[in-house]
Chains A and B, each alone.
Chain A
């Protein structure tokens, strides 16, 4: 069916440890080469940690799954050097239209804020994303991706895990100080450690189809509630790369997935949605969506990330987006622990911060799902009232919820934060991801976020700050006006800076603490706290 993309087939290579039967001890083994496992490999390698990735398959995600990637994951991928290609290949849309019954109730223009390197989001098929990351990983000597390696079982020891892995050459055992389980929503690893994975299954089914349109069609997102071509259900049309369009049809709980998946049943649905448009069907599947989360993100030496740790319904496009942010949070912590610069308490802050974010994502996608598929007659009445009013009065438009754009969840409650003292007029509170801004570096235009993220940073809007260390960890000074020029004065604005203002920024580009003037004792205490030594 695929006409726009040839999925690569990655070679299976027998490892030396399997050939010799001598188990090697790896620092980190990642289970699963999906978007999250691949990001983990790139991020750990960027922090100097060698990684082995095992994946039971030998290609990218078959069929297009994720479509929409928000600004924060793009910024993370930019830190890892893979975002430019994604943004170049991806599609940016600005205009969204909402239909109710046979009429358009309103349209909106996204008008994203300027002065950020990465767009508010892009649409791109998941296989391109994985493809680009595999290519980048292949060039990195610290990354060893092993295709056709299936994790069969896992045994936890006090300071490592023993992994039994199956390949075309049979079964072998390998060892890892730490395991990162990125093996998706049906995670085998989760079962192996006996973790709970609980939440809500939505009593509904959705047909997801990708089509190639032969003619031009406006690059817009169209969402229908109860359209004449698909009564009492919702439908969505969204553009991807290569003139491929994503269509969603809500089917209801009684639909038979096997019947709905048949091409002869899909074609009429598409024709009814897009009368007179010539198209080819690329791929289709029927899903039931769920919102679930793991009890603990760490079980002994096994750490869970991505869909293995949490599953959300696709409304609001959060699965991959939030999974990539798990890795952003975890990788510097794991690198610090492996280097002996922090102990396990820092890894446990990963659970605290990312479980908090997962709950926020689950809340948001549950709300979208409940708006799109009301749970009783009263909710449906309110939903329809919102849509009817949205046509006439702008107040009702923010209540229309056909999926909210994924934005990072600030770690407002994190114990790694040092609470603010003094008065601040900016959103950059401790626990918040740093805002980007255009800057000049050595006379060249650049971006603020590219100047941070390798280690802890002391962003200094004055002249006094000096590097501060705790154990082997140093926060390096980045001085505005010296190391970079805030030519458009957006840094000053976004960070509410005054002369002397100092920010302590974590390696994942989150604010740990901020002050109106530099005091080495306070900064050192905040750095210790940010390393869970406080």
Chain B
């Protein structure tokens, strides 16, 4: 398995709205806290160190 970089989320607009809606009423610090938790939850779901390393590299730009 490698990191999926092709579109993989059904209903992209709906997902994006969910993502921003959960943070609509949050201040900067609370949103960042939530993002940190989200990263951990998703990272655990992926679980594969190689894929996580690819994702880290891509996110660091």
Complex Cα gap A210–B44 (Å):
39
B40 engages A399 (CB within 8 Å): yes
A389 engages B32 (CB within 8 Å): no
Complex Cα gap A79–B21 (Å):
64
Least distance between A396 CB and chain B CB atoms (Å): 6
Contacts of A385 in B (CB 8 A): 33, 36-37, 39-40
Interface residues of B in 11-56 (CB under 8 A from A): 32-33, 36-37, 39-41, 44
Q: What 0/1 readout, one digit per residue, does chain A (364-406) give for beta carbons within 8 Å of chain B?
A: 0000000000000000011011101100010110010000000
B33 engages A389 (CB within 8 Å): no
Contacts of A384 in B (CB 8 A): 33, 36
Least distance between A438 CB and chain B CB atoms (Å): 37
Complex Cα gap A384–B30 (Å):
12
A386 engages B32 (CB within 8 Å): no
Contacts of B44 in A (CB 8 A): 395-396
CB nearest neighbor in A for B41: A389
Complex Cα gap A393–B41 (Å):
9
B32 engages A382 (CB within 8 Å): no
Complex Cα gap A309–B48 (Å):
36
**A-B pairs with the 6 shortest C-beta distances?**
A385-B36, A395-B44, A385-B37, A381-B36, A382-B36, A385-B40
Residues of chain B touching chain A, judged by Cβ–Cβ distance below 8 Å, are 32-33, 36-37, 39-41, 44
Q: List 25 A-B contacts (CB under 8 A).
A: A381-B32, A381-B33, A381-B36, A382-B36, A382-B39, A382-B40, A384-B33, A384-B36, A385-B33, A385-B36, A385-B37, A385-B39, A385-B40, A386-B40, A388-B33, A388-B37, A389-B37, A389-B40, A389-B41, A393-B41, A395-B41, A395-B44, A396-B40, A396-B44, A399-B40
Given A389-B37, A396-B40, A396-B44, 6 more pairs with CB closer than 8 A: A382-B36, A382-B39, A385-B37, A388-B33, A389-B40, A399-B40
